[in-house]
Amino acid sequence: MGFRKPQTINREAAGSYVNGVWVPGGPSTFTIQASVQPVTGEDQLVLPAGKRLSDYVKAYTVTDLQVLDEAAGLQPDKLTWRGNEYECISVDVRQMDVIRHYKYIFSKVTQ
């Protein structure tokens, strides 16, 4: 797909308990090919009420990314786009026979 561009993803490995003490996982950075766009229309349905649309983007990619999974100790992957950092808040798996891909919604990280 010609619309996909290299995008930087920051990932934190799953943490674990060592002798009863929580030890967070280590960070890693990698590049994926993705089409990143502002959210629109039906994308708003997964967003919390009252949030501004400029705080979210969607990304289409063939790469399987991490969404928050507290039970497994996984933190969401973070996308760096146009100088801002966004964390992955939802995934829509689109694994049909024609063009297999994932659609992710990312929320802007505020400091």
The number of beta carbons lying within 10 Å of the beta carbon of residue 110 is 7
Tokens (6 digits) for 99: 């063009």
Domain ranges of the chain: 5-10+24-108
> What is the band of 23 on the pLDDT scale with cuts at 50, 70, 90?
confident
Q: Which of 58, 62, 73, 57 has its CA nearest to residue 12?
A: 73
CATH class of 5-10+24-108: mainly beta
Please tell me whether residue 23 adopts helix, strand or coil conformation: strand
Whether residue 61 contacts residue 99, with contact meaning beta carbons closer than 8 Å, is answered with no
Per-residue pLDDT of 29-72, as tens digits, reads: 999 999 999 888 777 777 776 666 668 999 999 999 999 887 77
Cα–Cα distance measured from residue 102 to residue 91, given in angstroms and rounded to the nearest whole number: 7
